Structure 1
Amino acid sequence: MTQTTTQDVMCPLWRRLFALLYDLVAVIAIVMVVGMICQLATHGNLITTGANVHIAWWYQPLQALMVAAYFLVSWLRGGQTLGMRPWRIRVTSNGGARLAPKQALLRLIVAALPLSLLALAPYSGPRTALWAVAIGWCVWFAVALVDRHRRTLHDIVAGSEVRRIG
């Protein structure tokens, strides 16, 4: 009989990052489809140009809501996003049970917090703001390199973990 250890079931960071790259493709597709539907619904007036570019006030929150829904629904309906499936990993609560809706929402909010650094763009420029977001996410994920359960910051806060399956 073999004994399962934490090292056997917890997902290594590299596997999570590759799954995240796969999810990036899904997110881009979601953003494109929502954008196309919004352009059709507004008869091409979603984004207007002139002296200044103007984007409808509701468009970016709608995009964020749709991307958030993708992650929440995926985590709550089986614990896997499209990117997690080929890498055979699943997000669970600590101990292996399914995520509770409150945990999933908290995980999503904490994981998305570095995006708030985009608010720096008017003051520091878009390039600096994007670098700040990237550095923020690097810090969030780097926590998994020192945590004995390989949890990222958003996993620790939400009481979740990512496990290898199969």
Structure 2
Amino acid sequence: MVQRRLTQLDSTWPAALPRRLGAMIYDGFLVAAIWIGITVAHVAFFRFVLGQNAEEIGVGALEVWSLRVLLVLSAIAFFTFSWTRGGMTLGMQTWRLRVQTVDGYTITPLQSVVRCLTAWLSLAALGLGYWWVLFDGERRSWPDIASNTRTVVLPKR
């Protein structure tokens, strides 16, 4: 994948915590909708393609773990697609945020996966990875630091 040079580099500034949280909530609803669709398709597959009885679905380890893997991979795919394409998810567009490399390019798929995995860790640590923005001089979160990226605010149009 070819990284693209982003625009408006001189008129951006580091994103503060409230704006990041707003985008995270918005994107959380989008990911939940994706997960609902995947769960419905997963249940339908086991019920109608494999012919399991309704009472048996979700009982075995195969059903449980395959769904968990699909949910995690779909979230990573959603964020990776959005961030590598233009640096923004739909929630980030609403809050005028963009993820970019330190020198102003779109991020790579590897940086995106690192951001996703670090985001899970940040949330699991009671949000400490995001609260870090309040203490870091450059307003970086743990996902920003781990992936060598920046989350910036775009100016109003």
Q: What pairs with 1:73-92 in structure 2 (closer than 5 Å)? A: 73-92=81-100
Q: Give the match's secondary structure for 2:20.
A: helix
- AA paired with 1:106? V
- Contact kept, 8 Å, 1:38 with 1:46, in 2: the verdict is no
Q: Distance in 2 between matches of 1:97 and 1:104?
A: 13
Residues 51-90 of structure 1: per-residue CA shift (max 9 Å, x gap):
x944513111011111110011111010101110111110
Aligned length: 141
Name structure 1 gaps, 5 residues minimum: 116-132
Matching residue within 145, 149, 153 for 1:160: 149
Counterpart of 1:97 in structure 2 is: 105
- Contact kept, 8 Å, 1:47 with 1:54, in 2: the verdict is no
Matching residue within 66, 71, 84 for 2:79: 71
TM-score (norm 1): 0.75
Measured after TM superposition, the shift of residue 46 of structure 1 is: 9.2
Measured after TM superposition, the shift of residue 106 of structure 1 is: 1.3
Matching residue within 100, 112, 136 for 1:147: 136
Percentage identity across aligned positions?
Answer: 30
4+ long deviations beyond 6 Å? none
- AA paired with 2:144? D
Counterpart of 2:5 in structure 1 is: none
**Pair 46,59 (structure 1): closer, same or farther in 2 beyond 3 Å:** farther
- Contact kept, 8 Å, 1:48 with 1:54, in 2: the verdict is no
Q: Give the match's secondary structure for 1:161.
A: strand
- Contact kept, 8 Å, 2:122 with 2:142, in 1: the verdict is no
Measured after TM superposition, the shift of residue 96 of structure 1 is: 2.1
TM-score (norm 2): 0.79
Superposition RMSD on alpha carbons, in Å?
2.5
The higher relative CO (CA closer than 8 Å, separation ≥ 6) is in 2
